[in-house]
Amino acid sequence: MEPFGVRSRAERGQRLTELPVPALRELVRTHRLVLLRGYEVPAEAEQLAAWCRQWGEVMSWPFGDVLELREAQDPTDHIFDCSSVPFHWDGMYKPFVPEFQVFHCLRAPGPEDGGATTFCDTVRLLDEADPGLLDRWRRVTVTYRIGQVVHYGGKAVSPLLVEHPVSGAPTLRFNAPPPEEEPDFLNRPAHEFAGVGAEDVPELLAGLRAALTDPRWSLAHAWQDGDVVLADNHALLHGRERFRSRAPRHLRRVHLLGDPAHANPALG
């Protein structure tokens, strides 16, 4: 895939659960994103979770092992709204940060509905970033606070640049502020910056925004029914494009912990 990731198309009738997990794990570690298209995927959430347990330890949430990602009737958090979701990494407010995400698309939005999942390969971004920019980013630490209205929330403190817990490569950890064009964004996080003067924050944010959406290392995955996406949560940041309210969009997501599980350094 361009600019990163690999795609595998199923032969007719081929099952997801027949694929060798160790080979998939190596593919995600190498390419950071794996798209499996056309495979037969278990229809029940519990069956998907059972397959995921072959990978290792599944991260449990208050709702269980499988998040059903759908627009809610009356959402209280942007996750369950149809708004965009800014770039972030999963588990940033939790005791452990999952190594991988497994997404299964049960129902994809129509081609005009929006709702792509966005991914940025921050290892490549940092590899090719301007050295002056890197120097400035290296000094910055961000404190995030968000209300616990659904299954996550609290406070996290993270430098912008953090080592990948498995490969040791530098990664960018950043939860981008919601765009100002979306004043109705539900449950806005608050940001506090250290290592950069208050007067320089707007420039810092503009630089980050430009870097994170650079097509050389960033992509928007338009879902098709049945797609399974495996992603490296430590190397990538991800988000969502806005979609038409009430458009069909149903994803399942499971988090896989590393071995050993990665204790969240942002909780201090």
Side chain identity at residue 21, one-letter code: V
Give me the 121-150 binding string for Fe ion, x by CB under 5 A, dash otherwise. ------------------------------
CB of 174 to Fe ion, least distance (A): 13
CB of 90 to Fe ion, least distance (A): 4
Half-sphere exposure of 89 (CA within 13 A, CB side): 30
Give me the 44-83 binding string for Fe ion, x by CB under 5 A, dash otherwise. ----------------------------------------
User: Of 77 and 90, which CB lies nearer to Fe ion in the complex structure?
Assistant: 90
Burial 191-228 (b: 16+ CB within 10 A, else e): eebeebeeeeeeebbebbbebbeeeebbbebebeebbb
Count residues near Fe ion (CB under 5 A): 1
SS3 content of the chain, % helix, strand, coil (to 5): 20, 30, 45
Q: Is 232 in the site for Fe ion (CB under 5 A)?
A: no
Q: Tell which positions 76-105 bind Fe ion, by CB under 5 A.
A: 90
Which residue intervals of the chain are DSSP H helices? 21-31, 45-52, 122-128, 131-138, 201-212
User: Of 90 and 227, which CB lies nearer to Fe ion in the complex structure?
Assistant: 90
User: Of 160 and 233, which CB lies nearer to Fe ion in the complex structure?
Assistant: 233
Measuring CA to CA, how many Å separate 100 from each of 91, 123, 188, 206?
11, 16, 25, 28
User: Of 90 and 113, which CB lies nearer to Fe ion in the complex structure?
Assistant: 90
CB of 49 to Fe ion, least distance (A): 18
Rounded distance between C-alpha atoms, residue 98 and residue 90, angstroms: 7
Positions in the binding site for Fe ion (CB under 5 A): 90
